[in-house]
Structure 1
């Protein structure tokens, strides 16, 4: 399964690379943080089978959850099985925030 580091994601953003960034944290975890990675779109991980077919197939997709474990890895595996170039963010949102990367308020 493919993964991406916060440094690589920052490089993709800085280079203007085309990709889809999805926040798949549980609603409670997202509300507790009250912040997100800029340009990310939140999709409820509990509804993945409802929205999975709407993810653009013509570009890589990067997913992040709270810590980069079960949720983002599981959804990345599902999308990868569908033929998408899907990656999960190592250490998730907490790793992104803890290294001082930019966030936006919800």
Structure 2
């Protein structure tokens, strides 16, 4: 295989250099803040397997750009709220860093959970079970 000109790790590193990263302990303190919208971009199977941050919005990674764009037929009202702080997360912070960098390029302000969901429970973050739908 031909060597890539930019690796996935390089893309993550470049994204992290230009976006806001939130530490797990800081987001735990923000969970109940009505002005914070936590967005989980993990696959539904990941959420079912490990649970989710209570009150978080599930937005599959493949739809984010369309869901936040008010001109898209897929726009979701949750992303049109004025005065809210949006914090995206995945399992380890890689997908969410790329997501937030892309959203920033679109003009949508957001941050991401630096370590992702991987350390959430062990650092005392609340977790709710996600049931499989029949």
Same fold (TM over 0.5): yes
Unpaired runs of 5+ residues, structure 1, are: none
The verdict on how the C-alpha distance between 1:19 and 1:42 changes in structure 2, with shifts beyond 3 A counting, is same
Q: Deviations over 1:37-85 (max 9, x none)?
A: 011011111222331223235222100101111x111111122222232
Indicate whether 1:26 and 2:51 are aligned.
Answer: no
Q: 1:61-72 to 2 correspondence within 5 Å?
A: 61-69=86-94, 71-72=95-96
Q: Stretches of 4+ moved more than 4 A in 1?
A: none
Query: How far, CA to CA, are the matches of 2:29 and 2:121 in structure 1?
Result: 16
Mapped contact 1:4–1:89 kept (Cα < 8 A): yes
Q: 1:1-106 to 2 correspondence within 5 Å?
A: 1-14=19-32, 16-33=33-50, 35-53=51-69, 54=76, 55-56=79-80, 58=82, 59-69=84-94, 71-106=95-130
The verdict on how the C-alpha distance between 1:39 and 1:25 changes in structure 2, with shifts beyond 3 A counting, is same
Q: CA RMSD in A?
A: 1.7
Q: Which has the larger radius of gyration?
A: 2
Query: How far, CA to CA, are the matches of 2:93 and 2:66 in structure 1?
Result: 22
Query: How far, CA to CA, are the matches of 2:56 and 2:112 in structure 1?
Result: 13
Mapped contact 1:60–1:84 kept (Cα < 8 A): no
Aligned length: 103
The verdict on how the C-alpha distance between 1:68 and 1:28 changes in structure 2, with shifts beyond 3 A counting, is same
Task: Quote the offset at 1:100 in angstroms.
Answer: 2.6
